[in-house]
Structure formats: C-alpha cells, structure tokens
Amino acid sequence: MRGTTWGHSSPSLDVTSAEGIRAAVTEAERALGPIDILVNNAGVTLDKASVEVTDEEWDEVLVTNLTSMFRCARAVAPGMIERKRGKIINVGSMYGRLGVPRYAAYCASKAAVDGLTRSLAAEWARHGIQVNCLAPGYMNTDIPRAAMADPKTRERFLSKIPARRIGEPTEAAALAVYMASSAADFLTGQTIYLDGGQTTAW
C-alpha cells in the first residue's frame, strides 16, 4: 500500500489503483468537502544496475511515481474545473534532471513528472488551476541521514551541493505552502528545484 490517510480511521490509499483513487476522492470529498489542493507525493525508488532491472520493477516505479500522479490529478480535476480554482503540486526530484547511474527507472519517472506538470498546467490554466512541480534534492530525512552517518559518504554528498548542506523538510514544506497559496496564482507549469544549487553545478 502506498500513499497517506486523511483521517485517523481511514485506510491507506494504494495510488497504483485507479479504482482506489476514485473511491478515495469520493470519500475525502464526503468527509472534508471539495478538494482544492492536491499534493502528489507517493513514490518509490530503485537502486539497481539497469541491465538487471526487471520489467516488473520498471513498471512498479513508473506506475507509482508517474501514472499515479496523472490518475489522482484526473480524479480531482472535474471538481476544480467546475469551481474554477485548484492547486496541484507534483513532488518530483532533482533526479528528474540529473543522469544518475543505477537509477534509470527513478530518473525517467521523475523527468516524466516534469512533462506531465507542464502539460496539465497548459490545459487547465484557463480553468483557474495551477499545476507545479516541487523537486527536492537531498533532504534531512531517514535515508540520506543514514547514508551520511559515514564521514566519507557525507563529504561525497556535500561536495556536489553548492550550498554545502542538505535541505530541511521544513524548507520543502514552506515551498509547498507557497505553491498552494493565492500568492502563487500566476505560477503554473513550473518545476522548482529545492536542491541547494546541485542541479546548477558543473
């Protein structure tokens, strides 16, 4: 099961299920009212030599990281179009811009999220809906934090980041709040890389 819950007693949402997404949107609207903000944040990764990646593993990464975003956006869009307002935030990754060995499926899925974001933004802008992509770099969360417990790994990570630090989850949250606010009503179709300058470095 992948996804999140909107109530203490609600089941987790499997974002790979189109039927599950439709049911979840119906239940959320019944419990909380119209959906004006959607954050597409479910995702999986795969660290594996490309010649060893199976079709099943490739498909799992793509359906979780990309197809689920389209399906969730498609499910909430009719209501947003009717109300003439809405914010959709797709959580991408700096890996969508970088070529990273052993991460072909993940990089491809996140690069495709950029294209999906631009297409939906262009199609729905006239309905008052803004669609943007928040693409974090390394954040101070469990996996990077564990990896950087090793001093050599930490130095290798930080040497690639012009800011010489990783980001904090609160910084990503603040950017998401901005994207969801009325201050961002003229911002649409954009991917913002929150990565300490890593995607600009040479």
State the average pLDDT for the chain. Answer: 93
- Predicted confidence (pLDDT) per residue in 132-142, tens digit: 999 999 999 98
At 123, the amino acid letter reads: E
d(CA 193, CA 202): 16
What proportion of the chain, given as a percentage, has pLDDT over 70?
A: 95
d(CA 124, CA 101): 35
Give the pLDDT of residue 11.
55
CB within 8 A of 83, min separation 6: which ones?
A: 34, 36, 128
Classify 61 as helix, strand or coil: helix
Task: Tell whether the model's pLDDT for residue 8 goes beyond 90.
Answer: no
Give the pLDDT of residue 202.
72
Q: Are the beta carbons of 79 and 35 closer than 8 angstroms?
A: yes
Closest CA to 91 of 55, 47, 137: 137
Half-sphere exposure of 152 (CA within 13 A, CB side): 0
Domains of the chain: 18-200 (3.40.50.720)
Q: Are the beta carbons of 86 and 120 closer than 8 angstroms?
A: no
- Predicted confidence (pLDDT) per residue in 28-38, tens digit: 999 999 999 99
- Predicted confidence (pLDDT) per residue in 60-99, tens digit: 999 999 999 999 999 999 999 999 999 999 999 999 999 9
Q: Can you list the alpha helix ranges (DSSP code H) found in the chain?
A: 18-32, 55-62, 68-83, 104-124, 142-147, 151-159, 169-180
Q: Give the residue-averaged pLDDT of 195-200.
A: 97
The catalytic site residues sit at 106
Confidence band for 7, pLDDT divided at 50, 70 and 90: very low
d(CA 95, CA 3): 21
Q: pTM to 2 decimals?
A: 0.92
The region of weakest confidence among 11-20, 109-118, 127-136, 161-170 is 11-20
